[in-house]
Structure 1
Amino acid sequence: MRLTRRRLCSSAIALYCLFSLYAAYHVFFGRRRQAPATVVRGLRKGAAAARDRHGQAEQPPLEMEEWNPWEGDEKNEQQQRIKNRLQILNKSTKGKTHISVQIWSKAAIGLYLWEHIFEGLLDPTDVTAQWREGKSVVGRTHYSFITGPAVLPGYFTVDVNNVVLVLNGREKAKIFYATQWLLYVQNLVQIKKLEHLAVVLLGNEYCNNEWINPYLKRNGGFVELLFLVYDSPWVNDVDVFQWPLGVATYRNFPVVEVSWSLLHDERPYLCNFLGTVYENSSRQALMDILKQDGHDKLCWVSAREQWQPQETNESLRSYQEALLRSDLTLCPAGMNTECYRIYEACSSGSVPVVEDVMTTGSCGNTSVPRPTPLRLLKAMGAPFIFIQNWEELPAVLEKEKTLILQEKIERRKILLQWYQHFKSELKMKFTNIIESSFLTTNKP
């Protein structure tokens, strides 16, 4: 009896070993004879296309015939990773508050904010239209934008709680008009039609902006945030922030698209200056310097004695062409060091040569012994050529003559990339400030 049991056990073990060997053979060798069904389905279309081209089927690559015994596990792991990522994303956005902000633009710098920094579109595209509007989403903020002569206090429906008002406070007549808007908004706040207000202000070139002080929230007013053009000593990055002047959108300076020719074309002029030359100004000194060594023959220079606010189609084309055909753009200080020409040169790939001097007035940081201008641009690492005196210009131009085209192309790339980064950073900074302030004060 014991012998019979031993034989049965031995036979069972032998059968188990034979079955294991048979299974192993099929796992590691048998499956190679036929590709998995999923691979075969994938090959049929390719094989049919190959027959159409060559009259016979092409051999599939060897790698596609190999079977991966861990394929199922890898797919499951990949699906789980994707699922985990989606869960993390959902958790990060769950409960996030979105806000709607409307921008009322009653100054040309509003178009720089919307079209150049936010890269937003306007409908209609006609710049002479009485009413133009657009929409954009940045971060958690849904922006809408309105501008045009028909945008007047009390003549349009207010259906938002948060507003950014873009105003011009450069001179007395503009200040009067801006004040009417602020009084209108004040009434909306008092009757609970508006909750939050920020102002983007084209300030006075001498930084004399005292007129808006009573409207600031810190002084008992209702303006929570102020984005101010020029180097005002008020800038504290708490409730007052510096904002760039930008291009002259009031003269219809366009958004310049980066192209191959913008980067790579040879430019026939060393530099350019087209603008008003005031008597006994640094601009007059610049013109004298250019004439001394005949550099005015190598640069595109067109000076006028009186400022002309209105741009004709011909003068705009001439100015744009000068920027696009010059390696350098000379940027002498006017009423203020910051000028439209700086930003227009950046958009055209022409390096600004900036007169790095603080103009007269109340601008600059009074806590610094020798304040310097353009702190916003400098803080962002602007790749400009800064000079203290135009007597330094001849050396700059002589060096420029020694540069080969490839060196100029690389410099243009750096400038254009910096300018795009500058605008992108401003867009995110602006939105972060709006969200931080408006959403915080929304909480009970």
Structure 2
Amino acid sequence: FLDNVAVGNEEWNPWEVDEKNELIASQQRYKANLKMIKNARSHLEQTSLKVQIWGKAAIGLYLWQHIFEGQLEPADVTAQWREGSQKAGKTYFSFITGPSVVPGYFSVEAENVVLVLNGREAAKIAYATQWLHYAQTLIQTRKIQRVAVVLLGNEQCNNEWIQPYLKRNGGFVNLLFVTYDYALVNEEDIFQWPLGVATYRNFPVVEPSWSMLRDPRPYLCNFLGTVYKNSSRETLLEILKQDEFNKLCWIAAREQWQPQETNESFKNYQDALLQSDLTLCPVGVNTECYRIYEACSSGSLPVVEDVMTPGDCGNSSVRHSAPLQLLKTMGAPFIFVKNWKELPAVLEKEKKMSLQEKTDRRKKLIEWYQNFRASMRLKFINTLENSFLSGDKG
């Protein structure tokens, strides 16, 4: 029988099908590799700009991890040196941060630099100035060509010290992104930047979950914070001490501000955000506070005290809705109050809301916050590309 098969099918090759399949597979692999090489080549061609971000203020972590959704290696927040990279738009970004990032002791890997600095108080400004002088030296020696600054501004908008460094004033800084309602924001070379979450306290990137959106929350509102003498926070506390609100809201007030949280107090704070429908955001030295952004990331609607604080912050030539011009321009779906005496009415309304209404509102808030960060990322990239790719015109 076997002989017959063999004779009758001299051309038959039991491995032929496998060979054909292997041939097709290898051709497909070849095509795939070719495509990969082409993609890599076009990827390189499309990357018109290399930008290195030097994160020398905690706000840099908000920029990189929260707005750019970038990763950092190592993940350990106490590491001396952390870095990450990503391609966005036409730009290849690399980010470095940590105590080991010291002028002159790291590799400058791009002609374009974004310097993230803290200008909140005199000691920080002195440190920031050293970095600006270092960048200036690199420009003079043609090691780098263009510089943008992301600045944690002073809470009263006293940022005069940075002005001489701006290109428009004879300096070398092409672009300035600055927090708070700085009156000199012009949307040309000075832009308002969000304060973001308290990355200096390691507030994490919070991934929205089903339970965060859907579960009923045990508290109507929360306020965990410092109550300063003769501030509107005293009024707020008086209202919250009323019996019915005392039971409905998570309240933990202290008389002195603590820059470093204990693990327990920080955990309590995060839990309060996740377990409350509303987060009360009274003004501090400035109207804008980390709490607003932290509440957004936790799906707890900020109730914001919408009043200007003393100092030099205010309307700019391009925006007229201070305080919180940036958030308002971006359509933040918050509850704004001019006085905490409006709070009882807000809480009464809250009591009548169904879980479905609260769920819809939470979804809207979380989506808005995601879109807000994506918009800021896009604006940042476009602004850099428009300025840096246009040569020295920017």
Residue 137 of structure 2 corresponds to residue 187 of structure 1: yes
Please give the per-residue CA displacement for 1:68-125, whole angstroms capped at 9, x wherever unaligned. Answer: xxxxxxxxxxxxxxxxxxxxx9xx9997561110000000000000000000000000
Q: Using a 3 Å threshold, how does the CA distance of structure 1 residues 185 and 348 change in structure 2: closer, same or farther?
A: same
Cα distance in 1 for partners of 2:92, 2:324 equals: 31
Cα distance in 2 for partners of 1:306, 1:93 equals: 53
Equivalent position amino acid for 1:409 in 2:
T
Alignment map for 1:61-76 (pairs within 5 Å): none
Whether contact under 8 Å (1:122, 1:133) holds in the other structure is: yes
Three-state SS of the structure 1 residue aligned to 2:195 is: coil
Deviates more, 1:232-241 or 1:313-322: 313-322
Cα distance in 2 for partners of 1:192, 1:333 equals: 45
Look up the match of 2:29.
Answer: none
Look up the match of 1:412.
Answer: 362
Question: How far apart are 1:320 and its partner, in Å?
Answer: 0.5
Whether contact under 8 Å (2:115, 2:148) holds in the other structure is: yes
Cα distance in 2 for partners of 1:237, 1:401 equals: 42
Identity of aligned residues (%): 70
Question: How far apart are 1:159 and its partner, in Å?
Answer: 2.6
Question: How far apart are 1:276 and its partner, in Å?
Answer: 0.7
Look up the match of 1:251.
Answer: 201
Residue 294 of structure 2 corresponds to residue 326 of structure 1: no
**Aligned partner of 1:197 among 144, 147, 158:** 147
Q: TM-score, normalised by structure 2?
A: 0.87
Deviates more, 1:180-189 or 1:306-315: 306-315
| Greater than 4 Å deviation, 4+ residue runs | 92-97, 366-371
Residue 378 of structure 2 corresponds to residue 431 of structure 1: no
Equivalent position amino acid for 1:171 in 2:
E
Cα distance in 1 for partners of 2:315, 2:329 equals: 14
Look up the match of 2:110.
Answer: 160
Q: Using a 3 Å threshold, how does the CA distance of structure 1 residues 302 and 158 change in structure 2: closer, same or farther?
A: same
Cα distance in 2 for partners of 1:436, 1:372 equals: 27
Residue 290 of structure 2 corresponds to residue 340 of structure 1: yes
Equivalent position amino acid for 1:308 in 2:
Q
Look up the match of 2:98.
Answer: 148
Residue 158 of structure 2 corresponds to residue 208 of structure 1: yes
Look up the match of 2:324.
Answer: 374
Cα distance in 2 for partners of 1:249, 1:93 equals: 32
Equivalent position amino acid for 2:334 in 1:
F
Equivalent position amino acid for 2:210 in 1:
W
Structure 2 unaligned residues grouped into runs of 5+: 1-38
Deviates more, 1:424-433 or 1:290-299: 290-299
**Aligned partner of 1:218 among 168, 172, 177:** 168
Cα distance in 2 for partners of 1:372, 1:239 equals: 20
Look up the match of 2:9.
Answer: none
Alignment map for 1:8-407 (pairs within 5 Å): 98-292=48-242, 294-365=244-315, 372-407=322-357
Deviates more, 1:293-302 or 1:232-241: 293-302
Please give the per-residue CA displacement for 1:328-369, whole angstroms capped at 9, x wherever unaligned. Answer: 000000000000000000000000000001111000116699
Question: How far apart are 1:171 and its partner, in Å?
Answer: 0.5
Q: Using a 3 Å threshold, how does the CA distance of structure 1 residues 406 and 371 change in structure 2: closer, same or farther?
A: closer
Q: How many residues align?
A: 354
Question: How far apart are 1:297 and its partner, in Å?
Answer: 1.9
Q: TM-score, normalised by structure 1?
A: 0.77
Q: Using a 3 Å threshold, how does the CA distance of structure 1 residues 151 and 370 change in structure 2: closer, same or farther?
A: closer
Question: How far apart are 1:372 and its partner, in Å?
Answer: 2.5
- Which structure would you say has the larger RCO, counting Cα contacts within 8 Å and 6 or more residues apart? 2
Q: Using a 3 Å threshold, how does the CA distance of structure 1 residues 436 and 286 change in structure 2: closer, same or farther?
A: same
Question: How far apart are 1:186 and its partner, in Å?
Answer: 0.6
Whether contact under 8 Å (1:358, 1:371) holds in the other structure is: no
Three-state SS of the structure 2 residue aligned to 1:206 is: coil
Whether contact under 8 Å (2:181, 2:316) holds in the other structure is: no
Please give the per-residue CA displacement for 1:190-243, whole angstroms capped at 9, x wherever unaligned. Answer: 000010000000000000000011100000000000000000001000000000
Three-state SS of the structure 2 residue aligned to 1:186 is: helix
Deviates more, 1:95-104 or 1:230-239: 95-104
Structure with higher Rg: it is 1
Output the aligned Cα RMSD: 2.0
Q: Using a 3 Å threshold, how does the CA distance of structure 1 residues 367 and 379 change in structure 2: closer, same or farther?
A: closer
Structure 1 unaligned residues grouped into runs of 5+: 1-88
Q: Using a 3 Å threshold, how does the CA distance of structure 1 residues 292 and 166 change in structure 2: closer, same or farther?
A: same
Please give the per-residue CA displacement for 1:155-192, whole angstroms capped at 9, x wherever unaligned. Answer: 11213100000000000110000000001111000000
Three-state SS of the structure 2 residue aligned to 1:224 is: strand
Cα distance in 2 for partners of 1:342, 1:173 equals: 27
